[in-house]
């Protein structure tokens, strides 16, 4: 991890001091409790000042559009209280001066503004970039009284330095006696490049990777939990199904009793009859409180109940098997996802709206497009893209490829009469983008698009097929 040290802040302030002088704060936004965005305008130019007090990624910089996009900033509909406080005092206010207390990782914006009585007042926005103690504090420079903090610090957290509205603002204890330059300082990454660009690019990528990994792990845990639950349910159903398969014996017993109705006695504990299927005598235990005919009818009821149970369990087992394949396909899509946009498409598919991550990203439905021997080939990286390939991009005479009995991507070849070499290349591509990519041999099926069918109410990306051929890759 590269460090944002006091020397890096010094260089950044020196690079941007001229822009701050006489600038106005036009707009204030607080995407989360740990970051702020201030739109600052001066000399006909508007820049977005980004303040991050996350213990892992604390920094300050001006964002360019590309790195703002990477940070996936989403403005909440209801601004936090601290954001409302800053808007009240700082919007359209003039920046009189910017400072950095010597050797400190503290950035100070001195603001010239007016109170409710139209009296000129001076405020200071102090951005303290100190790891887990990072904070943003607004205080009255004339009275040194804090108006509000991004994080209040009570006596239970710090006996030496409490911070909250109404308390005096004091600098942190243990002030350094020299500029701190860390071993992995941002100031030494690229001395020839703008320090602001170095800071902006590095932390934008860090934040993006962190959000990507967190969302990936969250989705994987949710789907893995569902997959485990369904697999356990399937085992239980298969066990019950094996037990119910023996219900045919009840029909046989009923038939044998009815066939020997006049040769046997009512109210017997058991009867011995000749089983014409096994060619031997068998003993059948009965309810001695009932007649033979009543016992036979009971056996028929048990048989019918078992038959209905088998039919229902078979249906539920088939549904569960499809659902398990669906979840395995989703886990595969999560594993090969290369961007938050890929994960967002999966999130939209599998999570209810109330459980989705706060970092809402517009999902990409466009599958990967390749050119093989002059022909277009599309590869779906998730179920939405797979469904898009089948329902939107394909025509009847195009060729569709997929690994057999293995989670993987749908591959579509836009060619009516492909050569064998082209078919093999597409089959190899289907293997590459599947769970069997590391196997020595994988079966890949392919057929024309017109032989695919998506059953009603089927899961995204699920299709049935016919007239398929198989190739071993």
Q: Is residue 214 packed enough to be buried (19+ CB in 10 Å), middle (13-18) or exposed (0-12)?
A: middle
| Predicted structure pTM score | 0.76
Q: Which residue has the higher pLDDT, 347 or 29?
A: 29
How far, in Å, are 257, 294, 298, 303 from residue 307 at the CA level?
20, 20, 14, 6
Dist CA 124 CA 401 (whole Å): 63
Q: Is the pLDDT of residue 411 over 80?
A: yes
What is the rounded average pLDDT of the residues 192-211? 93
pLDDT tens for 344-390 read: 888 888 876 545 555 555 555 678 899 999 999 999 988 889 999 99
Q: What percent of the chain has pLDDT over 90?
A: 58
pLDDT tens for 391-402 read: 989 999 999 999
Query: Per-residue confidence at 456, pLDDT binned at 50, 70, 90?
Result: confident
Distance of CA 275 to the CA centre of its chain: 61
For position 62, what pLDDT does the model report? Answer: 97
Sequence spans of domains, the chain: 6-188, 217-336, 365-472
For position 356, what pLDDT does the model report? Answer: 59
Query: Per-residue confidence at 12, pLDDT binned at 50, 70, 90?
Result: very high
What is the rounded average pLDDT of the residues 452-456? 89
Dist CA 39 CA 375 (whole Å): 48
Phi and psi of 61, rounded to 5°? -170, 170
Q: Residue 464 carries which DSSP code? A: E
Q: Is the pLDDT of residue 315 over 90?
A: no
Mean pLDDT score of the chain, rounded to an integer? 90
Per mean pLDDT, which range of 52-56, 72-76, 408-412 is the poorest? 72-76
CATH superfamily of 6-188: ibrinogen binding protein from staphylococcus aureus domain (2.30.310.10)
pLDDT tens for 119-132 read: 899 999 999 999 99
For position 353, what pLDDT does the model report? Answer: 55
Dist CA 318 CA 311 (whole Å): 11
Q: Which residue has the higher pLDDT, 213 or 361?
A: 213
Q: Is residue 98 packed enough to be buried (19+ CB in 10 Å), middle (13-18) or exposed (0-12)?
A: middle
Query: Per-residue confidence at 57, pLDDT binned at 50, 70, 90?
Result: very high
Q: Is the pLDDT of residue 60 over 70?
A: yes
What is the rounded average pLDDT of the residues 88-106? 94
What is the rounded average pLDDT of the residues 71-80? 88
């Amino acid at each position: 991890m590269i460090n944002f040290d006091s020397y890096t802040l010094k260089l950044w302030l020196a690079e941007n001091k001229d822009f701050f002088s006489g600038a106005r704060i036009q707009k204030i936004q607080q995407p989360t409790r740990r970051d702020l965005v201030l739109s600052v305008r001066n000399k006909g130019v508007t820049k977005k000042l980004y303040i991050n007090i996350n213990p892992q990624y604390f920094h300050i910089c001006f964002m360019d559009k590309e790195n703002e996009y990477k940070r996936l900033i989403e403005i909440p509909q209801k601004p936090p209280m601290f954001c409302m406080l800053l808007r009240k005092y700082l919007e359209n206010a003039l920046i009189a001066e910017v400072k950095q207390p010597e050797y400190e990782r503290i950035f100070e914006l001195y603001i010239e503004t007016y109170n409710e009585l139209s009296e000129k007042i001076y405020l200071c926005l102090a951005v303290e970039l100190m790891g887990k103690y990072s904070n943003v504090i607004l205080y009255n420079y004339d009275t040194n009284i804090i108006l509000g903090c991004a994080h209040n610090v009570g006596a239970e957290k710090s006996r030496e330095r409490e911070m909250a509205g109404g308390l005096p603002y004091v600098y942190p204890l243990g002030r350094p006696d020299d500029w701190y330059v860390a071993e992995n300082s941002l100031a030494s990454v690229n001395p020839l490049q703008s320090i602001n660009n170095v800071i902006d690019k590095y932390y934008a990528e860090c934040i993006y990777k962190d959000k990507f990994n967190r969302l990936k792990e969250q989705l994987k845990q949710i789907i893995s939990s569902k997959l485990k639950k369904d697999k356990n349910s399937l085992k239980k159903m298969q066990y019950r199904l094996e037990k119910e398969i023996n219900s045919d014996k009840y029909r046989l017993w009923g038939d044998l009793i009815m066939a020997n109705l006049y040769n046997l006695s009512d109210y017997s504990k058991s009867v011995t009859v000749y089983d014409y299927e096994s060619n031997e005598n068998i003993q059948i235990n009965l309810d001695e409180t009932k007649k033979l005919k009543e016992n036979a009818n009971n056996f028929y009821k048990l048989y019918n109940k078992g038959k209905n149970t088998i039919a229902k369990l078979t249906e539920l087992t088939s549904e569960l098997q499809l659902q398990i394949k669906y979840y395995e396909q989703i886990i595969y899509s999560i594993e090969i996802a290369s961007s938050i946009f890929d994960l967002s498409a999966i999130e939209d598919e599998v999570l209810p709206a109330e459980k989705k991550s706060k970092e809402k990203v517009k999902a990409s439905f466009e599958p990967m497009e390749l050119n093989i021997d002059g022909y277009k080939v599309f590869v779906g990286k998730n179920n939405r893209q797979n469904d898009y390939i089948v329902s939107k991009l394909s025509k009847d005479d195009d060729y569709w490829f997929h690994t057999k009995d293995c989670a993987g991507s749908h591959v579509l070849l836009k060619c009516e009469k492909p050569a064998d070499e082209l078919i093999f290349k597409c089959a190899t591509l289907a293997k590459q983008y599947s769970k069997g990519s590391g196997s020595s041999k994988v079966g890949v099926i392919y057929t024309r698009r017109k032989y695919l069918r998506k059953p009603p109410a089927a899961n995204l990306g699920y299709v049935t097929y016919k007239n398929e051929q198989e190739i071993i890759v």
